[in-house]
Structure 1
Amino acid sequence: MTAPEQAAHAAPGVDTDEQAALRSSVASLLEKRSDSAAVRAAFASEDGYDPALWSTLVEQIGAAALSIPEAHDGAGATWVETHLVCEELGRRLTPSPLLGSAVLAAQAVLASGDSEARARLLPGIAAGELVALCWASESGWAVPGVRAEGLASGSGSGSGSGSGAVGGVTLHGTAHHVLGGDTASTLLVVALTGSTDGSGEAPGIGLFELPADAAGVTVTRVPVMDPTRTLSRVEFDGATATPIATRASFLSRLRAAAWAAISAEQVGAARAVLDATVQYTQERKQFGRVIGSFQALKHRMADMYVKTETARSLSYSAAALVAEALGTNDEEGSDEQAYAAEIEAAAAKVFCSEALQWITGEAIQLHGGVGITWEYDVHLYFKRAHGTAQLLGQPHEILAALEVPAGL
């Protein structure tokens, strides 16, 4: 999709030699195994991704284990390493379980603070086992689409030292837009808890675990605009689940990591589209000269470059704060650091979403008619831009939700 020599764009102030080597290794692997033809073959397959490539990413790169503590068979790296991998996967549009399992699911477990759940779930995720996080309602991520019934008072929330009591908790409702739900072996569910009519415990948010093939669970892959990403609808009809204890900063920690990872993917995609557009305008001739020599088009590509680099700066600013909040191994940052990271990651997600949508739109314009043909990849990036902008909250929803904590 882009030339290998354009793969590694260092982030000033972030990349150490080790991180640069990691980026180079991932870029080299994806250049060989995730070119345009391979991406198209992967998303057209039954799984929606290439299991062999995923195994290589897990076993040779350690991609799924990067942000997982060493005590749970992870690499114990900082968040920035995962951020780098997300950027390279986004650059190639590589269909992969990384975002759904190794980011969303793993960070949900880490964010919960539940030591028993960490010991039970994280080693498998680090080894490449697929776990999906169910969260959104039909209208979005502001309110979960699933509710938990039969939860004992205090179970599933609190200090995060251990899991709530097993048994008697059932899940009801439907989770939408679940990444990799149809290939996961385990489901984690962000669900509403407490009473909604004021007759019992105040409403809250809890985290629950159950097998994907449990009784009362129906998983259906749904049609999507972005073919490089699989989404599912997961229906719960009295399915029995295990509560996972959570803490006050649970959602802030989870959202910070998720939004930062998405922004990294968007930055990678933006750079790939810019590179492809520059290359095309250097080859396409009109009026006896390449169109890239026309001043008006140069200015438009310069604007694309400025948007891309601004998005990169904001994304890596968020990555740095998320790294402080998540820490390494079991040395986590404070709740205050988590809240600060959430706000910065929200800003990155909003800006990068809008930037990538604009950049891909410009790329199609500068490619002309071929920009919307199946043979060219620009339309795939355009679809990724608009699809990813909706994940974990649309930009206007995120801004509205953060007006108060950001002091606006």
Structure 2
Amino acid sequence: MAGKQAGDETSRYSFTDEQEEFRTVLRRFLDDKSPTTEVRRLMETETGWERAGWQQLNSQLGLTAVAIPEAYGGQGFGFVELCIVLEEMGRALLCAPYFASAVLATQAILNAGSEEDKEALLPAIASGETVATLAFTEDNGGWDSGAITMTATPSGSGYRLDGVKSFVLDGAAADLIIVVARRPASSGDDGLGFFVVDATADELEKTPLVTMDATRKLARLQFNGVEAKPLGDGNGAGAAFA
């Protein structure tokens, strides 16, 4: 984006020609793929989106790869391009797990994951093969560190998660869940970590929630000793509250 010019007391920001062209192409695509009739149809489905449409979104435009570095199968663009995608998807009321997978889960992995984690998890998210989400809030609805009560207990080479996550975006349909949990007997920012969970785990119970916005499906997730791997060293979540 263009910034402040010499001698200009006000800051003026504008998109580059390439970014505007990207917006034009994206808007044309979404106008075709997400008309009102399609939005209403998908709103009535259980998941709120369909795999075929999601794969088409990624195979033709590679949108889930926009803000993922090229080293991990992404396109290597930044937040400006990501914001353009989000703006245009919002304009079209696109029914897709984009924010959950390409933004929330992806940024958690990029910021808290080890190099090994990024190499293992991000390419499949970038291609759209894996749909991921971030499970943060619990039944109390709080966004501060003190609201996190889910426990992550060491078990063998990994951890076991017990507790509830609620209001999880696309939580009932995601393939991979990045969960914020705390070690037993910890409090506040201490002991918080991100953990990676396979959404097909038998010990994981998923309950869709009734919401006002049917284009964004939420779920309540009950973890009953679910096996999990730490993201990075398993201590990265506390920094989000610093």
TM-score range for the pair, normalised by the shorter chain length: 0.7 to 0.9
SS of the residue 1:136 aligns to: coil
User: Cα RMSD (Å) of the superposition?
Assistant: 2.2
Q: Secondary structure at the match of 1:150?
A: strand
Measure, in 1, the Cα distance between the counterparts of 2:239 and 2:68. 16
Distance 1:46 1:174, change over 3 A: same
Residue in 1 that maps onto 2:7: none
Q: Which residue is equivalent to 2:193?
A: 206
Counterparts of 1:121-136 in structure 2 under 5 Å?
Answer: 121-128=121-128, 129-136=130-137
Structure 1 portions without partners, runs of 5+: 1-11, 152-164, 253-404
Distance 2:227 2:123 in 1: 23
Instruction: Quickly say closer, same or farther: Cα 1:14–1:234, change in 2 above 3 A.
Output: farther
Tell whether the 8 Å contact from 1:135 to 1:146 is kept in structure 2 after alignment: no
Alignment of 1:326-365 (within 5 A): none
The alpha-carbon deviation at position 194 of structure 1 amounts to: 4.5
- Corresponding residue for 1:34? 34
* Contact map agreement 1:112 1:250 (CA 8 A) in 2: no
Counterpart-to-counterpart distance in 2, 1:213 and 1:50: 18
The residue aligned with 1:110 is 110
Of 43-52 and 68-77, more deviation after overlay is shown by 43-52
Aligned to 2:139: 138
Describe the SS at the equivalent of 1:22.
helix
- For 1:145 and 1:32, locate their aligned partners in 2 and report how far apart those are by CA, in whole Å: 44
Distance in 2 (CA, whole Å) between partners of 1:147 and 1:211 is: 17
C-alpha distance in 2 between matches for 1:64 and 1:14: 24
Q: Does structure 1 conserve the Cα–Cα contact (< 8 Å) formed by 2:174 and 2:199?
A: yes
1:166 to 2:157 alignment: yes
Residue 147 of structure 1 is matched in structure 2 by 151
Task: Name the % identity.
Answer: 35
Q: For residues 71 and 166 of structure 1, what CA distance do their matches in structure 2 show?
A: 28
CA contact (8 A) 2:65 2:125 kept: yes
Distance 1:214 1:50 in 2: 22
- Partner Cα separation in structure 2 for residue 96 and residue 219 of structure 1: 19
Hey, what's the Cα distance between the residues in 1 that align with 2:149 and 2:168? Answer: 11
Question: How many corresponding residue pairs?
Answer: 225
* Aligned-pair CA distance for 1:250: 4.6
Given that 1:136 and 1:145 are in contact with CA atoms closer than 8 Å, whether structure 2 keeps it comes out as no
Higher strand share: 2
TM-score, with length taken from structure 2: 0.85
2:46 aligned with 1:46: yes
Q: Which amino acid aligns with 2:46?
A: E
CA displacement 1:33-88 (0-9 Å, x = unmatched): 21211110111123311433322221111110011111110001111111110011
Give the letter for the 2:84 counterpart: L
Q: 1:278-322: CA deviations, max 9, x gaps?
A: xxxxxxxxxxxxxxxxxxxxxxxxxxxxxxxxxxxxxxxxxxxxx
| 1:100–1:131 Cα contact (<8 Å) kept | yes
Greater helix share, structure number: 1
d(CA) in 2 for partners of 1:113, 1:237: 24
Alpha-carbon distance in 2 for matches of 1:193, 1:232 = 24
What 5-or-longer segments of structure 2 have no aligned partner?
A: 1-11
Give the structure 1 partner of residue 172 of structure 2. 182
**1:111/1:251 contact within 8 Å kept:** no
Q: Relative to structure 1, is the Cα distance of residues 85 and 195 closer, same or farther in structure 2, using a 3 angstrom cutoff? A: same
Distance 2:28 2:185 in 1: 52
Larger gyration radius, structure 1 or structure 2:
1
Where does residue 92 of structure 2 map in the other structure?
92
Alpha-carbon separation, structure 2, partners of 1:86 and 1:49:
16
Match of 1:233 in 2: 220
Say whether the 8 Å CA contact 1:194–1:203 is kept in structure 2. Answer: no
1:303-322 matched pairs, under 5 angstroms: none
Secondary structure in 1 matching 2:86: helix
Residues 48 and 216, structure 2, Cα contact 8 Å, conserved in 1: yes
Deviations 1:194-230 (A, max 9, x none): 4248xxxx84210101211113211111111111110
